[in-house]
């Protein structure tokens, strides 16, 4: 069972972890930059070119996971 003990203050605010400059943060920034290059600079990257939105979504979800879960 998932508990929020230690994550919620007494006033109800949720505590988020700052993204450390680690593998998750760098990977999410790298994926976002690839998606931006494909979309706006018209660079052809074989894996990313057909899936720009999905690549940016994965980058955002990785950044979200890095903020929500400590130690990533």
Tell me what pLDDT residue 59 has: 95
Entry pTM: 0.70
The pLDDT of 25-42, averaged and rounded, is 93
pLDDT of 12 above 50: yes
CA dihedral 47, 51, 57, 62 (to 10 degrees): -10
Dist. CA 72–CA 58, nearest whole Å:
15
3-state secondary structure of 14: strand
């Amino acid at each position: 069972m998932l508990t929020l003990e230690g994550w919620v203050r007494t006033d109800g605010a949720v505590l988020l972890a700052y993204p450390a400059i680690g593998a998750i943060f760098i990977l999410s920034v790298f994926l976002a930059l690839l998606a931006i290059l494909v979309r706006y600079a018209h660079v052809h990257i074989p894996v990313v070119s057909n899936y720009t939105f999905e690549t940016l979504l994965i980058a955002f979800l990785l950044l979200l996971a890095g903020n929500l879960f400590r130690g990533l």
